[in-house]
Structure 1
Amino acid sequence: MRKFLIIFLVLFHLVIAPGCKKDPLDITPDGRITIEDVFKDEILIEAYANSVYNYIRLYGSRYYPNVMLSVFSDESHGSDDPQDSWSNVSQWYGGMLTPSYNPLDAGTNREGGIKWNGQYYEDGWDAIRKANIFLSRIGNVSMADRNKQARLTAEVRLLRAFFYLELIKMYGGLPIVDKQFPDNFDYKELKRNSFEECAAFIVSDCDYAIKEPNLPYRTAIEGERGRFTKSVAYAIKSQVLLYNASPLWNPGNDAGKWQLAAAAGKEAKEALVQNGFVLNADYEKYFQGNSSNTNDRETIFEIKNAEATFGGILFFINGIPTVGAALAGAAPSQELVDGYDMANGEIPITGYNDADHLKPVINTAAGYDDNQPYKDRDPRFYASIWYNQAYYGVINGKQHYVASYLGGEDGLAQLRQRTHNGYYLRKFNDPDLRIGNVGNALWKKFRLAEIYLNYAEAENEASGATPAVYEAVNTVRRRVHMPDLPEDLSKEAMRERIRRERRVELVFEEHRFWDVRRWKILDKTDRLTTGMAWTKQPDGSFTRQRIVVGRRVAWADKYLIFPIPLNELNRLPAFTQNPGW
């Protein structure tokens, strides 16, 4: 579905651009196709609608050069830093984001055919522009299959909502554009709408899709996988209203915003469950294989694109040296490790006694031993992180235990191929695949567990720790056989538990990067990351020391929102730059 006729492999230029940019299909008739011709042919109409999907990012490990978004958050430390000062990882840590340069754009060259994640602003508006062209013309068409016409219309409106959500998460409120600009439009007068206004616009597109009877909850056949559905509409609506209610965009803590987010979360949860969605029974395996319509009832939307099939490449660039990985990649941080509960449900580490996170505040009642920090932890810890002496599997006929201690086969060192903090990424990696095999772990952009946690957070802020909040969080915990949360938590205590739950349940899935921003805690989370250096003693035992792995600059309030690109401000004088830039 995502590979289309060559006539549609044309980039439609930025919707907010000087009026001189002409639609490539609006050309003088000379035997070539025009936009009017497209909307006279039902096959071309569908292809045009489908082409909007081409702007969906690849996510996963496709941040240049094959890194994950987690390395730009406190979830992990990128092994490119500090030895490769040119890498976008080192640039990000050094605070090199500016209105004229975004390190996350590094390596991207659409015109040159290089499709890394990047060019977020340009691609987002390109997609919205194409969606608006489609929506402005589809109403004047009478397709033979009116049900398909209705479904395509709902899909494209939902795509527009999706791209708006991705843009405003990064840049804040932007102009609401719901139609194709006329040739004589004066772009100098274009102004930004608020985040709340954009959220309402996104919700209106989602509601339209939800009400469309021809849009299914799930795709019914293999060939339609990767298309937007009604369940995606619920997911987008739930997420955008949660962001709109969060501290970054709700500084006055307007209870009404939380109530709207809670209602959307509840609506989404109930609709999806009623239509057969359920949490996958095996958390670890769920992320290691290609989901199917028959055995996966948790995934709401996954990226269906050959370039996004990152299972095999993920090994090679986020793996242990023993299996021949080229890079250690996203090495989980000690802060993340400390965030996992004990298997008994208790919190092992409640904070730090120093700014460098080297002196943890240990909850002695939890049963945690800092000399045996990996014992009896949440099962999601073992499914997500390789730690020193974790059993990896059989390599070259021998059982292998991760040797991330100093001097070990997978030992900690300041090399791109080695962890800098004593840990390696396990989530998404199936040890049975090994290097050279291509995995089929497609990127899960939306899934049911997020909906439960979205609802729990919003409902807690709106009404406190109600039974409904407990049930939503505990449903997610029970999937991995974790105990229910303690009873009688205050709103503040429940807030902390929900944030911890999001951190470990959604780890490495590109939520943490945005969560710490919308919660306005970036200055508390992103100043540095630490690790654990293990030393093997002559008797075979190990001693350990917490170490600072890297310090960062990109934690001030201005980094909560990305700057509007400088060239855009030059085109649109009525625009205002984001705070601090």
Structure 2
Amino acid sequence: MKNLIKHILIVLAVTGVLFASCKKDFLNTKPQTEVPSEDTWKDGALATAFVNNIYTGLRNGGFEEQMLASLSDETVFTHPGRSINIINEGTLGPTNTGWSDSTYVWGAMYNKIRSCNVALQSLPSATIDQALKGRLQGEAHFLRAYYYQQLLRYYGGVPLITKIYQLGEADYTVTRNTYDECVKFITNDCDSAATLLKGQTLDKGRTSVAASLALKSRVLLYAASDLHDIPTAKAKSSVISGYSHPEFLGYLSGDRTTRWQAAKDAAKAVLDAAGTGYKLNLTAPVSPEEGKKNYIAIAMGGGSKSADVDATASSEIILARYFIANQVTNGESIGLYNGPNGYHNWAGNTPVENLVSDYETIDGRKFDWNNPSDKAAPYTNRDPRLYASILYDGAGWKPRDKISGNVDPANQIQTGSYQVGSGTLAGLDTRQSSIENWNGSWTGYYMRKFTDPDPNVVDNNTKQFIPWPFFRYTEAVFNYAEACIELGQDAEARNWLNKIRFRAGMPAITESGDALRQRYRNERRVEMVYEEQRYHDARRWMIAPATLGRKLIFMSVTGTLKPGKTAPSPYKHDESVYTYTYTPTIDNGIENRQWLDKMYFLPISQVETSKNNKLIQNPGY
């Protein structure tokens, strides 16, 4: 013990000598891994890095393993225990809000909004290049507007925070702003961004004048919709009618025509500023095969490795999240997440028959399971976008032997069960697959859109670099057409909708009035599938009870050998050998979906209301 004490005293003595001999500023040296906040705004590179970090709130766009499509009637998430069913079955509440991607989460969005506020407070006095200063201010205005928009379309009116809270504040609580105040704030930020970014040269993946206008267009379109016109919303929902603070949800009064006109004008501004889109100058439908190729090219956004995919379709993109080889993000694995299990993929978000049935026939007729011809051959002569978006039984796909062995020389999707002699063979892409049986689709379908069709891209182990489109030109076209319809300008709406349809190889729309409105909504549904539009559209149109709340429909496919025919070995889809039967089946086993009107708005987490007792909860919770 004496020796231990002796050693400690020696160490203390040496330490004391060292401190005494140091310069007085020893303790004032700057940390080598941090930059003082005041220095950030004295250096252009540091200021740029600060604003670059705000972009991280965009994350991977919609390219996460769990996609917003599975909160809608587009897809269902295959794997249990991910809290998606909590929302889809209506059991969500303040203490259990269910799954939400962080690009919508309250706390995550406010963290990024705070960073925007720091930038917008600091940049005016920054001693950096003036052009760069203006550009960074424009980007910060856009990003703040975007993050507030994310909150607005989930929760309704939220607190508008523009100050930077410090330690020792007397009060950190704040009330919610009205829906109207939020819309005005966001659109003002969009206008500021557009003004500041005018004439700026911006790298791919950064915002722009056109992106700022596109965000404004979306916000004003939503603002004009049924859900946010409180007299209309009250008439359609007793939950909203009984809510004592409807000002958080929409407009209590005012002229809807004025709001629709504002939405139309904002959309037209995008069309005028963002070029011409991709192949929207056609006067007649292209061939079905070209329509399919056009749609695949748009979905690839210039990111496909295939020489057969038109890279110029990237002109359709206004703002996107791009992925590069030296990054490690979920966005590079979207093919793995959603692809067929028979290719060793995970079958995460799989299309449901609710969606597939809404693709028209090639002549523009509504598909009908009660029509014997449609029922006998449901994947024949359909909208070309179906073939570019959905993998179904018998659809051709990539060479299977690159990942699963030489078990399917025909390279066809197999989601059915097929007669082989006196027995039955389970398809290679079913949950009874001989390749993998734990992760197959329950629905009979797989997602094709956003997966690089290049046969050399093996989704299971090869990164792909398809950009996620936050905004694309066609969304602005839809926004413009919708506003025209609501303003009674049917001819103008048809003109623009038919541009989209001709590009896809579909015939012109001729309807007027409510019939045109319904055709428009279906057109938007199939064109913008999986792009985080449908969940919000169904709510703002207040059609959610019949869409988001509809029971899931899966597809069962069986192949029965025709008399005198012998099953091919290995199996392949062959209508000269097999009679195929297609049976849509309601399934409540994965999710027993229902719609409750409280689900028009998500609950504010109890964590947030406990921290801020001035927050008033949304209706129904």
Q: Which TM-score band applies after superposition, normalised by the shorter structure?
A: 0.7 to 0.9
Call closer, same or farther: CA 1:277–1:334 in 2, change over 3 Å.
Answer: closer
The count of aligned residue pairs is 510
Structure 1: how far apart are the matches of 2:93 and 2:351? 27
Whether 1:244 and 2:223 are equivalent positions in the alignment is yes
Call closer, same or farther: CA 1:347–1:249 in 2, change over 3 Å.
Answer: same
Call closer, same or farther: CA 1:448–1:481 in 2, change over 3 Å.
Answer: same
Q: What one-letter code is carried by the residue in structure 2 that aligns with 1:88? A: S
> Counterpart in 2 of 1:25?
none
Structure 1: how far apart are the matches of 2:348 and 2:172? 44
Whether 1:558 and 2:558 are equivalent positions in the alignment is no
Q: Shift of residue 371 of structure 1? A: 1.3
Whether 1:455 and 2:480 are equivalent positions in the alignment is yes
Which of 430, 434, 451 lines up with 1:411 in the alignment? Answer: 430
Structure 2: how far apart are the matches of 1:213 and 1:444? 20
Structure 1: how far apart are the matches of 2:400 and 2:87? 36
> Counterpart in 1 of 2:619?
579
- The more displaced of 476-485 and 550-559 is 550-559
SS in structure 1 of the partner of residue 125 of structure 2: coil
Call closer, same or farther: CA 1:48–1:61 in 2, change over 3 Å.
Answer: closer
Structure 1: how far apart are the matches of 2:609 and 2:370? 47
Call closer, same or farther: CA 1:52–1:430 in 2, change over 3 Å.
Answer: closer
Q: Shift of residue 303 of structure 1? A: 1.1
Call closer, same or farther: CA 1:498–1:544 in 2, change over 3 Å.
Answer: same
Structure 2: how far apart are the matches of 1:181 and 1:549? 50
> Counterpart in 2 of 1:352?
none
Query: How do 1:96-495 and structure 2 match up within 5 A?
Result: 96-105=91-100, 117=102, 120-143=105-128, 145-181=129-165, 185-187=169-171, 190-212=174-196, 214-216=198-200, 219=202, 224-252=203-231, 254-273=256-275, 277-279=277-279, 282-288=294-300, 290-291=302-303, 296-305=314-323, 306-308=327-329, 310-311=331-332, 313-325=333-345, 327-349=346-368, 360=369, 369-396=374-401, 398-406=409-417, 407-411=426-430, 416-431=438-453, 432=455, 433-434=457-458, 435-461=460-486, 463-486=487-510, 489-495=511-517
Structure 2: how far apart are the matches of 1:416 and 1:55? 33
> Counterpart in 2 of 1:89?
84
Call closer, same or farther: CA 1:345–1:29 in 2, change over 3 Å.
Answer: farther
Structure 2: how far apart are the matches of 1:233 and 1:279? 23
- The more displaced of 388-397 and 146-155 is 388-397
Structure 1: how far apart are the matches of 2:365 and 2:158? 43
8 Å contact kept, 2:322–2:466 = no
SS in structure 2 of the partner of residue 504 of structure 1: helix
Q: What one-letter code is carried by the residue in structure 1 that aligns with 2:296? A: E
Query: How do 1:7-86 and structure 2 match up within 5 A?
Result: 31-32=30-31, 33-62=35-64, 66-80=65-79, 84=80, 86=81
Deviations 1:141-196 (A, max 9, x none): 232x2111111111111111011101111111112222324656554652111222
Q: Shift of residue 411 of structure 1? A: 3.0
Q: What one-letter code is carried by the residue in structure 1 that aligns with 2:430? A: G
Between structure 1 and structure 2, the one with the greater Rg is: 2
SS in structure 1 of the partner of residue 362 of structure 2: coil
Structure 2: how far apart are the matches of 1:400 and 1:174? 51
Structure 2 gap segments, 5+ residues each:
1-26, 233-255, 281-292, 305-310, 418-425, 563-577
Q: Shift of residue 57 of structure 1? A: 2.7
> Counterpart in 2 of 1:22?
none
SS in structure 1 of the partner of residue 153 of structure 2: helix
Structure 2: how far apart are the matches of 1:571 and 1:394? 55
8 Å contact kept, 2:554–2:587 = yes
Structure 1 gap segments, 5+ residues each:
1-27, 106-115, 350-359
Call closer, same or farther: CA 1:509–1:295 in 2, change over 3 Å.
Answer: closer
- The more displaced of 536-545 and 283-292 is 283-292
Q: Shift of residue 290 of structure 1? A: 4.3
Q: Shift of residue 402 of structure 1? A: 1.5
Q: Shift of residue 466 of structure 1? A: 2.5
Deviations 1:491-546 (A, max 9, x none): 21111111101110000111111111111222211231102211111222112222
8 Å contact kept, 1:59–1:117 = no
8 Å contact kept, 2:552–2:593 = no
> Counterpart in 2 of 1:10?
none
Structure 2: how far apart are the matches of 1:538 and 1:393? 26
Structure 1: how far apart are the matches of 2:504 and 2:517? 21
Larger % of helix: which? 2
Structure 1: how far apart are the matches of 2:173 and 2:344? 56
Q: What one-letter code is carried by the residue in structure 2 that aligns with 1:180? A: I
Q: Shift of residue 37 of structure 1? A: 2.4
Q: Shift of residue 291 of structure 1? A: 4.2
> Counterpart in 1 of 2:580?
542
Q: Shift of residue 100 of structure 1? A: 2.3
Call closer, same or farther: CA 1:524–1:419 in 2, change over 3 Å.
Answer: same
Structure 1: how far apart are the matches of 2:313 and 2:544? 38
SS in structure 2 of the partner of residue 282 of structure 1: helix
Q: What one-letter code is carried by the residue in structure 1 that aligns with 2:116? A: A
Deviations 1:461-484 (A, max 9, x none): 1x2243221122111111112111
8 Å contact kept, 1:104–1:118 = no
Call closer, same or farther: CA 1:50–1:497 in 2, change over 3 Å.
Answer: same
Call closer, same or farther: CA 1:288–1:189 in 2, change over 3 Å.
Answer: closer
Structure 1: how far apart are the matches of 2:87 and 2:183? 28
> Counterpart in 1 of 2:19?
none
- The more displaced of 409-418 and 186-195 is 409-418
8 Å contact kept, 1:309–1:439 = no
Structure 2: how far apart are the matches of 1:119 and 1:332? 23
8 Å contact kept, 1:58–1:307 = no
8 Å contact kept, 2:60–2:321 = yes
Q: Shift of residue 74 of structure 1? A: 1.1
Deviations 1:229-254 (A, max 9, x none): 11110110010001111111123362
Q: What one-letter code is carried by the residue in structure 1 that aligns with 2:476? A: I
Structure 2: how far apart are the matches of 1:124 and 1:237? 18
- The more displaced of 553-562 and 232-241 is 553-562
Structure 2: how far apart are the matches of 1:184 and 1:175? 20
Call closer, same or farther: CA 1:553–1:385 in 2, change over 3 Å.
Answer: closer
Structure 2: how far apart are the matches of 1:393 and 1:182? 56
Q: What one-letter code is carried by the residue in structure 1 that aligns with 2:121? A: S
> What's the TM-score, normalizing by structure 2?
0.77
8 Å contact kept, 2:301–2:314 = no
8 Å contact kept, 2:70–2:77 = yes
SS in structure 2 of the partner of residue 103 of structure 1: coil
- The more displaced of 395-404 and 418-427 is 395-404
Q: What one-letter code is carried by the residue in structure 2 that aligns with 1:278? A: Y
Identity %: 30
